[in-house]
Amino acid sequence: MADLPTIAIWKFSSCDGCQLTLLDCEDELLGILGRVQIAYFPEATRAEIEGPWDVSLVEGSVTTPEEAERIKEIREKSGLVVAIGACATAGGIQALRNWANVKEFASIVYAHPEYLETLETSTPHSDHIDIDLELQGCPISKAQLVDALLAVLSGRRPNVPTSAVCVECKRRQTPCVQVLGTPCLGPVTQAGCGAICPSFARGCYGCFGPKETPNTVSLAKRWSEMGASEDQLLRAFRTFNGYKPAFREESARHGG
């Protein structure tokens, strides 16, 4: 028991959905738990094992001074740090504050903004520390999470695809929704979800974030030809992964 690797699961600013993905691995969960020691996972257990830890899974973005400090401590005490989800890898939807005035934001929501301790920005962990592996997605894919855990446990490289959602559509034999007239972010979005949206006759909305070397300019041009307004393009690129550089730069080309 004492020899099993320790895993700690940390929450930063987030919806808890990516750590819930682990509990949603209903078929694999008990098997995984037999091969690791859960050292810290407050969403699931009161028990704690002190660090250092072999692996830390980090969910959520950095939005407070406390979080900015905590991620550094976690880095120091962890063998591997894996950032999971759009918040941890791109700042998440709450990174929309990065284009706004946080004081104004706070006063819209709270009667006493002075009670809050919050940073001006919501940032991914890679802006603060070195990260060993990033799993993109809002939320992350169960299959990718299980693969990453098994890879870490057996010391192999994880299989994280770098291709576009389009490749997954082709594999599923889903007719291209964009060809049929629905704007789709699939060509610039990293695979991993299984191309769910097009299979439901909906355009991809980019929740897995930019793929490697995405040609956003060309896609935006195609959307414009299809009748998308500049506002629409701005919002499309500036949502759950809007602060990830490739999408951030593209959204800037459409105003704001």
Residue 180 as a binder of other proteins (CB under 8 A): the answer is no
User: Where are the strands (E) in 85-194, listed by range?
Assistant: 133-135
Rg of the chain over CA atoms, in angstroms?
19
Of 4 and 132, the one with the shorter C-beta distance to other proteins is: 4
Q: Are 153 and 36 in contact (CB under 8 A)?
A: yes
Q: What is the dihedral of CA 177, 178, 183, 188, to 10 degrees?
A: 100
Q: Which position among 7, 39, 53, 92 is part of the footprint of other proteins (CB under 8 A)?
A: 92
Query: How far apart are the C-alpha atoms of 35 and 18, rounded to whole Å?
Result: 21
Q: Which position among 31, 33, 50, 217 is part of the footprint of other proteins (CB under 8 A)?
A: 33
Q: Which position among 7, 9, 14, 54 is part of the footprint of other proteins (CB under 8 A)?
A: 14
Residue 73 as a binder of other proteins (CB under 8 A): the answer is no
Of 111 and 157, the one with the shorter C-beta distance to other proteins is: 111
Residue 112 as a binder of other proteins (CB under 8 A): the answer is yes
**CA atoms in the 13 A half-sphere facing the CB of 208:** 29
Residue 16 as a binder of other proteins (CB under 8 A): the answer is yes
Query: How far apart are the C-alpha atoms of 198 and 202, rounded to whole Å?
Result: 5
Of 27 and 130, the one with the shorter C-beta distance to other proteins is: 27
Q: What are phi and psi of 221, to 5 degrees?
A: -65, -45
Query: How far apart are the C-alpha atoms of 148 and 142, rounded to whole Å?
Result: 10
Q: What is the dihedral of CA 181, 182, 183, 188, to 10 degrees?
A: -100
Residue 18 as a binder of other proteins (CB under 8 A): the answer is yes
Q: Which of the stretches 108-116, 143-151, 159-167, 168-176 binds other proteins when contact is defined by CB under 8 A?
A: 108-116
Which residues are at the interface with other proteins (CB under 8 A)? 11-21, 23-24, 26-27, 29-30, 33, 38, 41-47, 63-64, 67, 92-94, 96-97, 100, 102, 104-106, 108-112, 115-116, 118, 122, 138-139, 193, 196-197, 199-202, 205, 207, 232, 235, 239-240
